[in-house]
Structure 1
Amino acid sequence: MLKDDIDSLSPARDFNRRSFVQTTVGSGFAAAVLPVTAQTVTTDTAGLEAGPVTIPVGDFAMPAYRAQPAGKQHLPVVLVASEIFGVHEHIADVCRRFAKAGYLAIAPELFVRQGNAGAYTEAARLIAEVVSKASDAQVMADLDATVAWAAAQGGDTARLAITGFCWGGRTTWRYVAHNPRVAAGVAWYGPVARAYHPGDKTIVELAAAIKAPVLALYGAADGGIPVETLTQLETALKAAGNLRSEFVVYPDTPHAFHADYRPSYRKAAAEDGWKRCLAWLAVHGVKA
């Protein structure tokens, strides 16, 4: 059981399945996070092409959510890796925020082979039955296919970045280690000293393979990601010659502080992190 994923949920949930439940990729909210809070941010689609798409991965059709400025080509590409809850409304909204900033943003549904992450009401069961069965090898291949799809749609994959939250934060680190074409990454509170799938390596163990600059955004009060593990990774990165990555640890800030639909949301840290994210991409070759 992964403590940070579970503790960041409200201890008492009123699961309302008549509203907000995820029915298709990028729509509604995952059942495990209901009810959503009043502070939830909603980004409109004015001026955008946004909605579900299908990405071929061999013979498999992987659903994803895509958002981009309408009528534009040769856009920089940002992969958006979801939390354990899959590609629900919040992740789709993050894609729209990137699109408003001039990016082609794509969030593939990386758990779809294992089950419907959005339908689970209990985070512990979701981790055990779905998340822990999605191996790094599968996820890396799915992200590679997503990059290929973006290129075929006119995206400029010479300007390629990845960002993600929690499980997706770890996936961000992992994909940067996997794909040398990634120009920059932004990892939001992803575990670095443990893996989700049995047998996969930790990010600390993979530090030598991480060459691109990664902006790491974490909370000092994250019960599942001790600050000392971030120090271990930072030390390992520097020892391997990666001097461009940067760690930002917000004081008195919990896990999932960017998740505006959850009680863990911390507006000041979330807004500062978002500004840093866009600036980081621009400085490191993924400028819109």
Structure 2
Amino acid sequence: MSLNTDWLNFDGGERSYRLYISRPANADTPLPVVIVIQEIWGTDAHILDLTDRFAKAGYLAVAPDLYAENGQRPDVLKEERIEQVKAFLNTLPPASWHDPIAREAALEKLPEEKREEIRSTFAELFGGLARLPERLEILQATLRFLQEYKHSRGQKVASVGYCMGGALSALLACREPSLAGAVVYYGNLPSKEQIKGIHCPVAGFFGSLDERITSQVPGFAKAMQEAGKSFTYEIYEGAHHAFFNDTRASYHVQASRDAWAKTLVFFEEVLA
């Protein structure tokens, strides 16, 4: 399928925002929207590929760049710096990623300039998890933009997020009554107190080996049921965190195939 793709900056009032947009080239009418919310690695090749995949399914798909400030990324979070961190971490066992001693021992083997760049970008990426409220504001601004954008005006909007983006997809549902649906891939789930703000169906996809995240699912499912809200989910046996990311060793093809099919069915239902 031929797609029209572009990076677009839009004015959100006090600041401007940057997002990747993809849509079927021959679709002339406004389309329902899927907001694709990034992993901690930003709007990288994997996220852009997923955005195009949702566009090929017949949606206007957008991926907001949550690291852009007034339409441009700071040096510490530019794509090449993040790729440098990813390449470094891929040389370590996953258990060492958040082990400061093991990480520093590996860093000490690198040239000083490269070592300092990796340290600063790593700190900015993983320290940025404390800034989820700021990221959520970007998503809310994106939602307001899409409500008036010529290719989506008058259409329903749903979200899907991965890892950090999965948590943000659920939080967007807690904050925005107009959201038609939210999909969470291996992201932290909202608290019982936050659930009262959810007005749309939520779907979740998790790996059985991702215990820190997946252990939250039963409590969230129970709280959603007690609140009379819709939550469907799958926990894939033998799948790790980030099982859907086909650029990483954690990729699980069977779980990904099933989750992709169920995600498209979910969007067909909530965006109809």
Q: Give the TM-score, by structure 1 length.
A: 0.74
Which stretches of structure 1, 4 residues or more, deviate above 6 A after TM superposition? none
Look up the match of 2:107: none
Q: Is the 8 A contact 2:60 2:151 kept in 1?
A: no
Distance apart, 1:250 and its partner CA: 0.6
1:258 aligned to 2:214? no
Distance apart, 1:156 and its partner CA: 4.1
Pick which of 132-141 and 46-55 moved more: 132-141
1:116 aligned to 2:103? no
* One-letter code aligned to 2:157: L
Partners of 2:141 and 2:232 lie apart in 1 by 28
Equivalence map 1:77-226=2 (5 Å): 77-113=33-69, 115-116=76-77, 118=79, 119-120=81-82, 121=85, 126=121, 128-133=123-128, 135-150=131-146, 151-192=148-189, 202-225=190-213
* One-letter code aligned to 1:167: M
In the superposition, relative to structure 1, how do residues 164 and 127 fare at CA in structure 2: closer, same or farther (>3 Å)? farther
2:16 to 61, 64, 79: 61
Give the number of the structure whose residues are more often helix, by fraction.
2
Distance apart, 1:252 and its partner CA: 1.1
* One-letter code aligned to 2:169: T
Identity level (%): 29
In the superposition, relative to structure 1, how do residues 272 and 165 fare at CA in structure 2: closer, same or farther (>3 Å)? same
Look up the match of 1:235: 222
SS at match of 1:216: strand
Higher relative contact order (CA 8 A, sep 6+): 1
Look up the match of 1:269: 255
Q: Is the 8 A contact 1:79 1:161 kept in 2?
A: yes
* One-letter code aligned to 1:98: F
Q: Is the 8 A contact 1:258 1:266 kept in 2?
A: yes
Rg comparison, structure with higher value: 2
Partners of 1:157 and 1:169 lie apart in 2 by 25
Partners of 1:59 and 1:175 lie apart in 2 by 20
Partners of 1:261 and 1:47 lie apart in 2 by 24
* One-letter code aligned to 1:139: R
Partners of 2:196 and 2:144 lie apart in 1 by 26
In the superposition, relative to structure 1, how do residues 180 and 272 fare at CA in structure 2: closer, same or farther (>3 Å)? same
Distance apart, 1:77 and its partner CA: 0.7
In the superposition, relative to structure 1, how do residues 131 and 74 fare at CA in structure 2: closer, same or farther (>3 Å)? farther
* One-letter code aligned to 1:247: Y
Structure 2 gap segments, 5+ residues each: 90-96, 99-118
Q: Give the TM-score, by structure 2 length.
A: 0.78
In the superposition, relative to structure 1, how do residues 146 and 163 fare at CA in structure 2: closer, same or farther (>3 Å)? same
SS at match of 2:66: coil
Distance apart, 1:138 and its partner CA: 2.2
Q: Is the 8 A contact 1:256 1:265 kept in 2?
A: yes
Q: Is the 8 A contact 1:86 1:110 kept in 2?
A: yes
Partners of 1:111 and 1:157 lie apart in 2 by 28
Distance apart, 1:174 and its partner CA: 0.3
Q: Is the 8 A contact 2:184 2:204 kept in 1?
A: yes
Q: Is the 8 A contact 2:236 2:255 kept in 1?
A: yes
Question: Deviations for 1:42-97, whole angstroms, at most 9, x for unmatched residues?
Answer: xxxx5211121112222423221110011422100111100000001110111100
Distance apart, 1:228 and its partner CA: 3.0
Partners of 2:258 and 2:264 lie apart in 1 by 10
Look up the match of 2:102: none
